[in-house]
Amino acid sequence: MNQEKALVVFSGGQDSTTCLLWAKKEFKEVETVTFNYGQRHVAELDCAKEIAGDLKVHHHVLDMSLLNQLAPSALTRNDEAITHEEGELPSTFVPGRNLLFLSFAGVLAKQIGAKHIITGVCETDFSGYPDCRDIFVKSLNVSLNLSMDEQFVIHTPLMWINKAQTWEMADRLGSLKYIRENTLTCYNGVIGDGCGDCPACELRQKGLNEYLQSKKGGDE
Ligand code: ZN
């Protein structure tokens, strides 16, 4: 086990909770940070707080409400519908959001003495966010190191795996049931299996079905 400290960028969703469980296996000391940017559902923050408590990790909440000011989107304003046209960025898109989150996480990591930063971004189910791509994360890693004269290492355990494989990872970490029941991915703020109708629920359920199907096949 790595004896150094790690900071997990954590939203209370399936991906970042899987990353948190992964980090707890890999690093001796783990803390988490959640960004409060006026999410559509306060449930998201409560959910993150709850999970951090369950997993006994220190939980930082940083106020990022300035994002609201920079790019009002469907995630932060109730009067805008969530739409996602084929080939276009979803209306939840906030340009540069991950750039900002990871940069602030870097500053916090410096303050708490964490060398490792973990984020659940993924290029496989690439939804059009350029600052979630591997090349960007590597580039920011260099910039953060230069900006603070540090040797941070940004880890992206989900970068090259799909949703089904993320469920498989949760299972291998012994936490499939926990993640299925306690994390929040749903745009309508329903914890666990969610509302079942929104794009986030559809993606999550599709991945879960795929994994459970392949597991069943493997057992036989
Ligand atoms: Zn939903």
Kindly report the average pLDDT of the chain as a whole number.
89
How far, in Å, from the CA of 21 to the mean position of ligand 1?
A: 23
Q: What pLDDT was estimated at residue 54?
A: 98
Among the ranges given (25-39, 82-96, 137-151, 186-200), the one the predictor scored with the smallest mean pLDDT: 82-96
CA of 190 to the centre of ligand 1 (A): 6
The CATH number for 2-161, chosen from 3.40.1010.10, 3.30.70.2740, 2.40.160.60, 3.40.50.620, is 3.40.50.620
188 C-alpha to ligand 1 centroid (Å)? 5
Confidence of residue 93 (pLDDT cuts 50, 70, 90): low
108-151 pLDDT, tens digit per residue, is 999 999 999 999 999 886 566 889 999 999 999 999 999 999 99
Summarised one tens digit per residue, pLDDT across range 97-117 is 899 999 999 999 999 999 999
What's the confidence (pLDDT) of residue 125?
A: 65
The Cα 32–Cα 118 span in angstroms is 9
185 CA from centroid of ligand 1 (Å): 7
Would you place residue 206 in the very low, low, confident or very high pLDDT band (cuts 50, 70, 90)?
A: very high
Element (H, E) at 8: strand 2-9
pLDDT of 38 reads: 74
CB 39 within 8 A of CB 189: no
Domain extents for the chain?
A: 2-161
| Cα-to-centroid distance, 202 and ligand 1 (Å) | 7
Q: Which two tokens stand for residue 104?
A: 């602030």
> What confidence category does residue 70 fall into, taking pLDDT thresholds of 50, 70 and 90?
confident
Largest CA distance in the chain: 54
Q: pLDDT band for position 152 (50/70/90)?
A: very high
Give the pLDDT confidence score for residue 113 in this predicted structure.
98
Say how many Å lie between the CA of residue 193 and the centre of ligand 1. Answer: 8
Q: What is the pLDDT of residue 73?
A: 52
Among 8-22, 32-46, 142-156, 162-176, the minimum mean pLDDT is found in 32-46
b/e code 144-180 from CB counts within 10 Å (16+ = b): beeeeeeebebbbbbbebbbbbbbbbbbebebbebbb
186 CA to centre of ligand 1 in angstroms: 4
pTM reported for the whole predicted model: 0.89
pLDDT class of 72 with cuts at 50, 70, 90: low
Q: Between these two residues, 70 and 180, which has the higher pLDDT value?
A: 180
Q: How far is the CA of 201 from the centre of ligand 1 (A)?
A: 4
Distance 116 CA to ligand 1 centre (A): 32
In one letter, which amino acid is 180? R
